[in-house]
Structure 1
């Protein structure tokens, strides 16, 4: 949004009115706590945070302040939503609803994890975490190889004859039984090899001796003869190079710890009454 439009938006008297109205609600709430004033079920009270949310959501979506008519519509929609939620709760419609229960659980877990976003470890702690999880931050190794896909159900003598031809210098492209798979693969990351040829194929190639026709090796396409020409192992970059990623993952792990600790303490506040579970399945 251009700066001139932002300045004009921030200068809008209507937006000022709406936001100041939210502040007024907040001041009223502070001076008159809910515990000290009646809150009958038939009163729909628009609080400060809700008022500000309505205005800011509109501004974010429309890039301008709401008109008086739009403002009335926003407040009416809020009132309908609030009344509908109260009615649904009064009728017990939230009970036994898996989606609602899961949503509430997610919100509790989010509140438990939220403080981790503000945590900043010292460099010693971050470096120790980096080294302990080095495999997650290493650059993938690369493989260079030549492969020949054998015909389906090739007999052992046919495989041996093809391997002999290759060892004598025959063109792998002429013997390759697939037009989809390249006979020569240069510097392909190990995970990419797995995606192209199938799970486990990259690991099997990486274990082969260099400069020697080996196989057959099984892939998602069939059996291959493979010549491994170059094998470059993964490299762990300096921490400074991946600092932001390491910090994000450290915080994610801390968030999981906070969540697990909170949920464990939460369960301690309750007495569990569970049905008996037999040690062995009944016949």
Structure 2
């Protein structure tokens, strides 16, 4: 009975099992390395970008070449043209990958402007009724701004005796100051023009200065001025017919801005915006 059990029971002894794992280990390592290689290929090669040089693109490139050179490109020239296009495309994508546009303000602004143009599109022309309604609702936009006419004697630096100069001017005596590039009589200058040329404080001083009497010196962004205001014109509402084209342009611009704002709102949902405090 005992002999029969010894003969039939041939199970693998426990001490022999580690040898099986030792024999299988190289195969498992091979599978692991192979899997890593496949994963690496999928990450590097499986996601390769495609540069598709379509037939229409080639025709455009060859047409541009013919226009500039005066003859159709032969086979060798065509290959060179296509290779050059591919090289430029690779460099362009590389510049995007490296985010070079962030370090060049001009490139960044051109890209933004182009995106605005593509998103904003070309809104339809507003109707006559819509333009008249816009004119009525935005009357302040179509008012001719106040104008001031004045004479001035200009000094680059504060004169030594400003009181004597002012008295002389009020008595009608000619006073020679420094040359001024716009001259010494400035008729019918709009408020915005005066502010941009001399500064806002100078404009406010002119608005308060007495008519037909010398005053000063008034300091500006350019120097010091003795001034005599000769006329002031109040803001005037411009007639609809005289600003019709401006209204159309303003409405078109506003519709385009609305379209851009709507699209930016939609796109912003895809971003996590963090504003550093």
Same fold (TM over 0.5): yes
Structure 1 partner of 2:236 = 235
Relative distance call for 1:191 and 1:105 in structure 2 (3 A) is: closer
Instruction: Please state whether the residue corresponding to 1:175 is helix, strand or coil.
Output: coil
Do the aligned partners of 1:150 and 1:159 also contact (CA within 8 Å) in 2?
Answer: no
Of 146, 153, 162, the residue aligned with 2:151 is 146
Do the aligned partners of 2:158 and 2:223 also contact (CA within 8 Å) in 1?
Answer: no
Relative distance call for 1:88 and 1:111 in structure 2 (3 A) is: closer
In 1, the alpha carbon distance for the partners of 2:222 and 2:92 equals: 56
- After TM superposition, the score normalised by the length of structure 1 is 0.60
Deviations 1:211-238 (A, max 9, x none): 2222331123433222211112343432
Deviations 1:184-204 (A, max 9, x none): 333334444445545542343
1:113 CA displacement: 1.0
Do the aligned partners of 1:44 and 1:79 also contact (CA within 8 Å) in 2?
Answer: no
In 2, the alpha carbon distance for the partners of 1:223 and 1:113 equals: 47
Instruction: Please state whether the residue corresponding to 1:209 is helix, strand or coil.
Output: coil
Do the aligned partners of 1:140 and 1:189 also contact (CA within 8 Å) in 2?
Answer: yes
- After TM superposition, the score normalised by the length of structure 2 is 0.61
Structure 1 partner of 2:86 = 82
Moved over 6 A (4+): 40-43
Relative distance call for 1:136 and 1:51 in structure 2 (3 A) is: farther
In 2, the alpha carbon distance for the partners of 1:41 and 1:138 equals: 56
The gaps in structure 1 that reach 5 residues or longer are 1-39, 279-283
The gaps in structure 2 that reach 5 residues or longer are 1-47
May I ask how many residue pairs the two structures share in their alignment?
224
Instruction: Please state whether the residue corresponding to 1:272 is helix, strand or coil.
Output: coil
Do the aligned partners of 1:150 and 1:176 also contact (CA within 8 Å) in 2?
Answer: no
Do the aligned partners of 1:150 and 1:177 also contact (CA within 8 Å) in 2?
Answer: yes
Do the aligned partners of 1:44 and 1:83 also contact (CA within 8 Å) in 2?
Answer: no
Deviations 1:98-138 (A, max 9, x none): 31894665544332111xx2322223332343355455544
In 1, the alpha carbon distance for the partners of 2:211 and 2:219 equals: 18
Instruction: Please state whether the residue corresponding to 2:236 is helix, strand or coil.
Output: coil
Deviations 1:125-179 (A, max 9, x none): 3234335545554445432222233684446xx4333333333332xxx324223
In 1, the alpha carbon distance for the partners of 2:50 and 2:276 equals: 47
Relative distance call for 1:189 and 1:104 in structure 2 (3 A) is: closer
1:81 CA displacement: 1.2
